[in-house]
Chains A and B, each alone.
Chain A
């Protein structure tokens, strides 16, 4: 590995990109345009609720005390949910964004905790992750700080009462929240596939690959340099999409280390995945225009079938099962779960699938492409 060569190649790619209006359009302007257009079509007014539904399954002195603490906070308007309601069904029926459940045994646990230091008890905070911008985050912080205060009063700081956060993904999250992760996946897919196709068809026809074969650069150095550049593009696109989405439509992201790490992993894997697919196309379709068409024939249907812009739940069953075999589906789901739903299990699951797809397609791509001629 020669870093000077890699840096020089990266620099050349960057210059080329800055001078190519077409690529600039697809990596930056196109996603921004789509966000603006789709956002305008689907944006609905955000209704902010400070009503806080609390279900008290304990009905003890301690639970009453805690509810009182919450109720005393001026912006919170406590609504009691009857203890025979199924909370999940209730949330769905009333289209609530948040609800708090105090479990049975809450009071008993607090009583015991005075004698047994090990005892703790958790309340459950149900929330809809797609509505993060509005009331949910405010109520969440209210619950956490109230609990802190309550714990302080009870034990001088020992954490007796904790919070279980339960996400209640309902069908009616904001469209833009659904759309932004899809836009990121789609943009990375197109720029990596078409970039890779260009390198493996046009550069071959123009003799650039043959030329490079007779210079000291190795294929590993070339691939690494190009992949670093594709990653750079993917992150630029992602950043632009997130900034525009947040500034214009108020997409509210979950910025925490765990999710950022997963987002980064998914973006890197996606870049490798679709660069690999581009290599495979370039291997079998030698002519650049035809290869671009083949790229379009793969990306365009995949964009719809993988639930990029519209939820798959609106589609018939067989279309949903098609989506399950498309790599972009897992990219979309992974990004959504990481950025929007903050569903850790699903994030890990989808990321793992994306990584497997990436490893397979990239390795096959590297394996089937060669610089040598027959």
Chain B
């Protein structure tokens, strides 16, 4: 008998089924009742996933810092773990990195349970811990050489320095670097063994917008090198900009998961249309009569929520038909911030642990 975790294609619940290797079973999702087929591999090694987490739980006293979460990270993707401070991101990532022990649950990296295989896994992963500070009195280059000597497999240090754009600073002492440079060195350190998976725990927290952009470029670069990146962040722009796949975590639970498109389609209330400088009275009433969710804002601005893209044209044709006079129109699709607000009733940037 082997076990297999399957994500229900309909409700995205992860369900564990068991069967014999090679067997193909028809199964029913216990949550939404959807039916599907599950094939149990002859080999239990699932080649497609870099990381598989199932039913992970971490209890501190009465607090479930991580509360029974399951997810899988496909190879070669940037996977963002998005959530406010205290959501359980670091706890999760550090359990995957074997820095903390889980209360419950299993972690597989490249198909192997890490409780027995972590020593081999070490050569294949590179991590940047949260709020990492390296040795103050070593230069950038010395630091990279130091960490690379710990591994059997070593990437070319000069290549990394070039890729991370650190050439001009390679002979500076670490303590004299700016925050952004330090984080770039941190990412560079996580690459010295040419790892297959890179873990970055809040790599841009505390940086100014320009430095943050530079760190993003460096991370985006990792995807083009074919590396799997596990990124935690509480900046929704960061997840939007970088991630192929986003899991939103709140109070130890994954509350939504998918690509940015999927999340917006599934949870977004639709796009937001702004009619600016409307000079014709009763426009709000007109739109409401036609079944639109319109609200009046200051300076004659009107906000309209659009559920489906076809409705957009309807709004425009109504405006034209009644000769409504306005200055401009802009349209914005919902972002993760709004999705988070909608799912939790709290703002991502304001939630405190």
Contacts and interface: CB of A to CB of B under 8 A. Distances in A.
B122 A208 contact: no
A19 B147 CA distance: 19
B133 A214 contact: no
A214 B122 contact: yes
Query: Size band of the A side of the interface?
Result: 20 to 34
B60 A374 contact: yes
Contacts of B149: 4-5, 8
B131 A216 contact: no
B124 to A, nearest CB: 11
A15 B137 contact: yes
Interface in A11-27: 12, 15-16, 19-20
Contacts of B99: 210, 213-214, 371-373
A372 B189 CA distance: 20
Given A206-B133, A216-B119, A216-B152, A372 B101 contact: yes
A217 interface: yes
A206 B134 contact: yes
Given A211-B189, A373-B94, A374-B100, A206 B150 contact: no
B244 interface: no
B132 A211 contact: yes
B147 to A, nearest CB: 7
B127 interface: yes
A216 B98 contact: no
A373 B100 contact: yes
Query: Size band of the B side of the interface?
Result: 20 to 34
A217 B135 contact: no
A207 B173 contact: no
B130 interface: yes
Residue in A8, A12, A371 whose Cβ sees the most chain B Cβ within 10 Å? A12
A206 B132 contact: yes
A233 to B, nearest CB: 15
Interface majority SS (helix, strand, loop, mixed), chain B: loop
Contacts of A216: 119, 122-123, 150-152
A8 B101 CA distance: 30
B198 to A, nearest CB: 11
A215 interface: yes
B142 interface: yes
B215 interface: no
A214 B101 contact: no
A214 B97 contact: yes
Contacts of A9: 146
B188 interface: no
B74 interface: no
Interface in A191-205: 205
A12 B145 CA distance: 10
A5 B134 CA distance: 17
Nearest to B189: A211
Given A16-B138, A214-B125, A216-B152, 4 more contacts: A8-B150, A12-B142, A15-B138, A374-B100
13 contacts: A16-B137, A19-B137, A206-B133, A207-B129, A207-B131, A208-B133, A210-B99, A210-B127, A210-B129, A211-B189, A213-B97, A216-B150, A217-B150
